[in-house]
């Protein structure tokens, strides 16, 4: 490594350490007219913290892409990867996502996550009945357990909390299939999708099934292939825990149908849908509020769908009512 490369590595490390010291969950490198703006995402607020000259930013982005095993020479398509590093005595994961911008520039977002960061289910939920329902859903032997919500609502945090409960309390064998593995977890056997190496979602699922898992975690459903893989795994006799971007439990069902999964396949596999938002109380403590739909309500949902009606799930309190009740504000839990 030559002197210039050493300088670039030092600059990147300094940026990552600065983000950690500021409690940022994401670093944004956004191209501007005279270089790149550096912004930190702190408590869902994006704050500009500095700027970089174009040549330095370009070299830093190339170095970050190299660490994440991305194609350094390709700036024309979006790319996503991750790397792991120890900083300030902690093991950390950094997910790097790039998108092409005008004038042959790239915009980059780096997500910061701590390894083995598990929030206990009871600490995550405001109401005990929600944590009880989540634990009950984790005991189900077969089916599809979907955690839904918008970006930044803490779905991954909840998913890792549930899988940790499956391993530590229920003594079940859990294997994850992720693209990419963003956060290393010691309680999971984690498998990363790698299309170039022939490890697709389909190939990964076949390999996982040969290892006799009790629970399969599919990182996120974001396209038709992943949706069908999750349903297939649930039909093979396993509990599949996954996440999807949807507003509420009903929206989760329609989104899965948009991905090409039939209503009958969903009726046979869905055992629980948990929709959530993240909130912060006046003391700054973060928690989640949930709308959890179990099998009984899911059956009613599909009866309405079969009749061509849009189902409105019964619920004691809406998200808006809960936020007002607890005097909470929406907050990103990262």
Can you give the pTM of this predicted structure?
A: 0.77
Q: Quickly tell me which residue has 């939920």 as its tokens.
A: 125
Residue 193 — φ and ψ, nearest 5°? -70, 135
Average pLDDT over residues 198-211: 86
Distance CA 311, CA 304 (A): 6
Judge whether residue 55 has pLDDT over 80: yes
- Least trusted range by pLDDT, from 86-100, 183-197, 305-319: 305-319
Judge whether residue 333 has pLDDT over 50: no
290: β partners:
276
- Least trusted range by pLDDT, from 39-48, 145-154, 162-171, 284-293: 284-293
Instruction: Concatenate the DSSP letters of all residues of 163-186 into one string.
Output: HHHHHHTT---EEEEESS--S--T
Closest C-alpha among 214, 217, 192 to residue 203: 192
Average pLDDT over residues 229-253: 91
Judge whether residue 1 has pLDDT over 60: no
Sign of the C-alpha dihedral, residues 228, 313, 151, 240? negative
What tens digit of pLDDT does each residue of 254-298 get? Answer: 999 999 999 899 999 999 999 998 777 666 666 788 989 888 888
């Amino acid at each position: 490594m030559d002197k210039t490369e050493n300088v670039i590595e030092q600059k990147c490390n300094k940026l990552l350490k600065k983000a950690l010291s500021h409690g940022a969950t994401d670093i944004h490198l956004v191209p501007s007219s005279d270089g790149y703006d550096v912004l930190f995402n702190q408590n869902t607020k994006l704050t500009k913290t500095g700027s970089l000259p174009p040549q330095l930013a370009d070299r830093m982005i190339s170095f970050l892409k190299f660490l994440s095993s991305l194609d350094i020479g390709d700036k024309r398509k979006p790319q996503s990867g991750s790397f792991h590093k120890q900083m300030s005595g902690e093991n950390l994961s950094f997910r790097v996502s790039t998108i092409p911008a005008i004038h042959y520039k790239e915009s980059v977002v780096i997500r910061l996550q701590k390894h083995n960061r598990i929030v206990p289910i009871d600490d995550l939920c405001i109401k005990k009945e929600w944590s009880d329902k989540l634990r009950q859903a984790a005991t189900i032997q077969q089916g599809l357990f979907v955690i839904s919500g918008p970006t930044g609502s803490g779905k991954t945090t909840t998913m890792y909390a549930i899988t940790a409960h499956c391993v530590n309390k229920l003594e079940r064998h859990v294997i994850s299939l992720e693209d990419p593995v963003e956060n290393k977890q010691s309680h999971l056997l984690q498998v990363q999708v790698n299309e170039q190496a022939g490890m697709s979602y389909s190939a990964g699922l076949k390999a996982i099934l040969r290892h006799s898992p009790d629970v399969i975690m599919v990182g996120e459903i974001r396209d038709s292939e992943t949706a069908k893989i999750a349903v297939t795994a649930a039909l093979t006799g396993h509990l599949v825990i996954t996440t999807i971007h949807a507003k509420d439990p009903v929206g989760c069902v329609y989104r899965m149908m948009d991905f090409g999964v039939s209503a009958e396949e969903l009726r046979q596999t869905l055992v629980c849908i948990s929709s959530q938002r993240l909130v912060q109380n006046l003391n700054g403590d973060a928690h989640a509020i949930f709308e959890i739909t179990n099998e009984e309500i899911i059956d009613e949902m599909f009866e309405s769908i079969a009749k061509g009606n849009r189902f409105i799930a019964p619920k004691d309190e809406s998200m808006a009512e809960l936020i007002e009740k607890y005097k909470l504000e929406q907050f990103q839990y990262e």
